[in-house]
């Protein structure tokens, strides 16, 4: 990877041996390995058996989960907040595991739409809840720094499964609860 980065620097018209760029190939490799660490993550290890049988049937929400990802089209960052809700059907997930699950999918080359679905589908598969909802609000640097150059635009995606898809009332309650003050 470092050789490729050196080549990229040369193709951009830079001297990869100049003082400020000498260690750039190593730094970029470390950064990309970290930012794409989700490929090596095992969802079951991330959840670490933090699936508990609980007699609770009301909505569980973890909102404003910060994330950073890389757009698979331009390798530029997109970042924002993820809001996750589910209605238990006898099992719950340890609360700290939900942001970890978001990171598994964010730390891959991504499109926001797929990431949203992957989070919802994984929760559905792991605990078979009555419903799952995921909303992601993100700023994409591929839109802000290049292309249309719209610095203040925010992309919003959602995945609504089970009760959140089938019940307008449930969906509305979730959307009201995640609305920012």
Q: Which residues are the active-site residues? A: 71-74, 112, 140, 142
Exposure string of 149-160, with b = 16+ CB inside 10 Å and e = fewer, is eeeeeeeebbbb
Burial (CB < 10 A; 0-12, 13-18, 19+), residue 105, is buried
Question: How many separate helices (H) and strands (E) can be counted in the chain?
Answer: 8, 7
Residue of 162, 167, 83 whose CA lies nearest to 119: 83
Beta strands in 72-113 (DSSP E): 77-87, 91-93, 109-110
CA 96 to chain centre: 15
Would the CA dihedral through 149, 102, 43, 29 be positive or negative?
A: positive
DSSP 61: E
């Amino acid at each position: 990877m470092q050789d490729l980065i050196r080549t990229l620097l040369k193709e951009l018209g830079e001297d990869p041996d100049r003082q400020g760029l000498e260690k750039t190939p190593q730094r970029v490799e470390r950064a990309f390995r970290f930012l794409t660490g989700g490929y090596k993550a095992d969802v079951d290890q991330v959840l670490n058996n933090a699936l508990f049988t609980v007699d609770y049937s009301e909505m569980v929400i973890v909102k404003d989960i910060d994330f950073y990802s890389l757009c698979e089209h331009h390798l530029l960052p997109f970042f924002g907040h993820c809001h996750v809700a589910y209605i238990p059907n006898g099992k719950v997930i340890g609360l700290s595991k939900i942001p970890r699950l978001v990171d598994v999918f964010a730390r891959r080359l991504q499109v926001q739409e797929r990431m949203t679905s992957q989070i919802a589908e994984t929760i559905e598969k792991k605990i078979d809840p009555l419903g799952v909802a995921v909303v992601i609000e993100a700023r994409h640097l591929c839109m802000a720094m290049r292309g249309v150059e719209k610095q203040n635009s925010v992309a919003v995606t959602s995945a609504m499964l089970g009760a959140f898809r089938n019940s307008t009332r449930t969906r509305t309650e979730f959307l009201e609860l995640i609305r920012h003050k």
